[in-house]
A and B are shown apart, each in its own frame.
Chain A
Amino acid sequence: MIRLEKRPQPSKLWATMTPVLAVIATMIAGGIMFWMLGKDPFEAIRTIFWDPLFHETFGPYSRPQLLVKAAPLILIAIGLSLGFRAGIWNIGAEGQYIMGAICGAAVGLAFYPSESILLFPAMVLAGAIGGWAWAMIPGFLKVKFGTNEILVSLMLVYVAENLLASVSQGLLKNPDGMGFPGSRNFRDFPAAYNTDIIEGTGMHWGVAAAFIAVILAYILLTRHMLGFQVRLAGEAPRAARFAGVNPTRLVLFCLGTSGALAGLAGLFEVSGPSGQVTIDFNSGYGFTAIIVAFLGRLHPVGILLAGLLMALTYIGGELAQLMLGLPGAAIQMFQGMLMFFLLAMDMLTHYRLRLKRPVAAQ
């Protein structure tokens, strides 16, 4: 008989080990799924995890893509992790991401065809403010009326998606686009284009911002009073109040920061890799970032690694669709498995397994 036994304190070893184990378990379960779909499981796993980095033909193309995909995930997940640590659940990063992109892009497009070097920084600022403002709506409603931030932030995603559809066919539509929906392409607008810092590496300004966010979040959480308050509020809300943490300020700080970072990610995406505001430029990064935040244990360095891993499964997944004809849904299943195994294995941090022989009946 196997029994679960609560550990006296959470195991640090297992807290770092579980993500690794979860990845391995996902590979095994995913392999079985691919095998049931009639594909060679080893080839599928290799295509997803190995080929994007080391394949002779695809590697050079997909390696820069890794950073391009990972940057928005990391940037958003860092912001979300602060709130999640404090027990403030911003589920609507996707909406803040879209609003950041719209606001930032609007500032850029308003000054077309300016060549000012101040234009791009202004767009960055506008993107951050757009995301921040969108996140302030659930924040304000929560502190004023006690609404649930999970529901409000999630609902606002759909509002943002509709706004995106509206502006990409109306307000921000390319006047020279011959009636096609979508804004001007930023690739043809150098002052507003989020270019590679080092040519051909995929290392655009958003990647730099993501790395900076990781470092700042790490310092905040380990060295700063505000980070301590965030952790305290999550671990023991009553103790946080007792210690003088102002819950209103904390809610607004966490939602605001995560909104601003999501907005930044949106702006960097729309002005760079995506290139234009279109009805579907957002590829669900805001939701995937939630997985990344938890996969990274809400720890900045963990999130950095998790973001890269998640980007790898995206790119590898696309590659597997292309090369092996795996259905897209199977790739999504695969990513879902990762989240499932991670949460399931979380138990090992707090509990240990004990083998115990059943006591013989007397």
Chain B
Amino acid sequence: MTGDLRQADALMTLEGLTKAYPGVVANDQVSFSLLPGEVHALLGENGAGKSTLVKMIYGLVKPDAGQMTLKGETFTPVNPAAARAAGVAMVFQHFSLFDALSVAENIALGMDNPPTPRELSARIREVSQAYGLPLDPERTVGDLSAGERQRVEIIRCLLQNPKLLIMDEPTSVLTPQEVEILFETLRKLTDEGTAILYISHKLEEIRSLCEHATILRHGVVVDTCDPREKSARELAEMMVGDTLHVPSREHWEPGDEALSLEGVSMTSPNEFGVNLRNVSLSVRKGEVLGIGGVAGNGQDELLAVLSGEARASAGAIKLSGDEINTLPPNARRTRGLLTAPEERLGHSAAPEMSLTENALLTGAVRENLVERGFLRWGKAESFARRIIEAFDVRTPGTENAAGSLSGGNLQKFVIGREVLQDPDVLVVNQPTWGVDAAAAASIRQSLLDLAHKGAAVIVISQDLDELMEIADRFTALNEGRVANPVPTQNLSVEEIGLMMGGGEGEVAA
């Protein structure tokens, strides 16, 4: 019955949308409808077909079959410009802005018929005030924070008075305070009757923001619900289609100090990187230290000074009391410090090489896979097989190229490769980035198990829920600096936001 009601008042309906790519059906007979003024969540694991679906709505991809209607009329956008003209706007996960241009210039570039610069600036000010998104049209985009850049994209959309706004993972780059501001804006928009199609992995956000959710699995709509009536866990299980194993943290007794950084500074080797500034922290045996922060605040650099790929220019890095700053990666591995970088394809793993070769990549010294310079392929293969079995990596065999595995499976392999080497200290960067819920849960559990066995674990992650779940102490990276770590228990969202930086001004505004 509700279905009929929705159909009648719908702003947009999708009927049997189907899109197939070679070897995979991305969307199979997807049908649902959007009401004016509702925030509609699109939920699903990676590869469930969310992106393809919104690309069809936004005119980037042409459906193989099925119809769409907008306000009762057939809607077949041939390109994004046509979709925009019909009142559909989209904010992408990755921004398309020119750093060297001002806010107003960037917005003008995305418009089909831009008004004069003066008029445009006036309208930007008007819209930004109306929706509580403070933004100076004359500022250069290169100087803006990630949250402010997102506002540019949102205002660009709002200037077109959209009836439907599509947002793809909008909060992944925001601090909690910035998320609150965004949600206020979205609520104002829905009050005016704009519908919002909201894609996110963050289930708590969806529960607080969305009134309706459509759940996709393998390209098929498997369920719909009101997320406010479900728990985050129930939502996750609907996405996965299985009961979800939630990692459990037992009480821990901190041991001796395993790894410490004292006033570590490093100039980033990357032109667009962030320099580490006077970073001091320590982690004890049996402890999980969580390091939060928005991407691009020195995460890669911190991992590089720990893995041995880069040297700190000042300060000391001590492993069980010994200075290791000048040691190369393999010497650190020998001493028990293992790392897993964020980027799987090309950094923690070589995509074109087999899993056996990728097992060798970091396992050579600790697993004794090399004898007088000669490789012991048999041993390397059995190590790879052990990883595959222990970490439930879904792959036909050790001969398969790492790049042929799905993101979650490859990440399980990478984490498994380090965990099975029995490290004293393990440092992981974004361990569950782009990984589906079930794989993420098992990776987190394996990190906890490792800590339980007495290893020190540092988890660098953008996912605050993840850090709250597994970390004993929390700190955050902000422009290459870290705050003093504090116990995770009883930590409030406000405190986290302050540590992540840029908090105070936002709250006041």
Q: Which residues of A contact B (CB under 8 A)?
A: 5, 8-10, 223-226, 228, 231-232, 235-236, 238-244, 246, 354
Contact = CB atoms under 8 A, between A and B. Distances in A.
B63 to A, nearest CB: 10
Contacts of B403: 9
B329 A235 contact: no
A244 B352 CA distance: 19
Interface stretch (B116-124, B183-191, B356-364): B356-364
A356 to B, nearest CB: 10
Contacts of B446: none
Contact of A224 (B22, B328, B373): B373
Given A232-B361, A239-B361, A242-B329, 5 more contacts: A9-B401, A232-B353, A236-B346, A236-B347, A243-B329
Nearest to A237: B346
A172 to B, nearest CB: 40
Contacts of A224: 373-375
A246 B330 CA distance: 11
A223 B375 contact: yes
B361 A225 contact: no
Contact of A223 (B309, B351, B374): B374
Interface in B269-325: 307-309
Nearest to A219: B374
Interface residues of B, number: 33
Q: Which 8 A-B pairs have the closest CB atoms?
A: A244-B330, A244-B329, A236-B350, A9-B401, A238-B347, A236-B346, A239-B350, A243-B361
Of the candidates A5, A9, A236, A246, the one having the most CB atoms from chain B within 10 angstroms of its own CB is: A236
Contacts of A235: 350-353
Given A243-B362, A244-B330, A236 B374 contact: no
Nearest to A227: B375
A232 B350 contact: yes
A242 B374 contact: no
Contacts of A239: 346-350, 361
A242 B348 contact: yes
6 contacts: A224-B373, A225-B374, A235-B350, A239-B350, A242-B341, A244-B333
A225 B370 CA distance: 7
Given A225-B373, A232-B361, A246-B328, A5 B347 contact: no
B413 to A, nearest CB: 13
Contacts of B308: 244
A226 B360 CA distance: 13
B343 interface: yes
B484 interface: no
A254 B124 CA distance: 57
Given A8-B404, A228-B357, A242 B309 contact: yes
Given A238-B346, A246-B328, A10 B307 contact: no
B309 A226 contact: no
Nearest to A356: B22
Contacts of B339: 242
A224 B370 CA distance: 8
Contacts of A354: 22
Contacts of A238: 343, 346-347
Nearest to B351: A236
Interface string B357-383: 100111010000010011101000000
Nearest to B347: A238
Nearest to A9: B401
A226 B361 contact: no
A242 B347 contact: yes
Contacts of B377: 223
Contacts of B364: 225, 243
B305 to A, nearest CB: 13
Interface string B393-432: 0000000110110000000000000000000000000000
A226 B370 CA distance: 11
B335 to A, nearest CB: 13
Contacts of B351: 235-236
Nearest to A238: B347
A242 B351 CA distance: 14
Nearest to A245: B329
B177 to A, nearest CB: 34
A8 B21 CA distance: 13
Contacts of B360: 228
B307 A242 contact: yes
B300 to A, nearest CB: 10
Contacts of A244: 308, 328-330, 333
Contacts of A246: 328
Contacts of A228: 357, 360, 375
Nearest to B370: A225
Contacts of A236: 346-347, 349-353
Nearest to A6: B22
Nearest to B22: A5
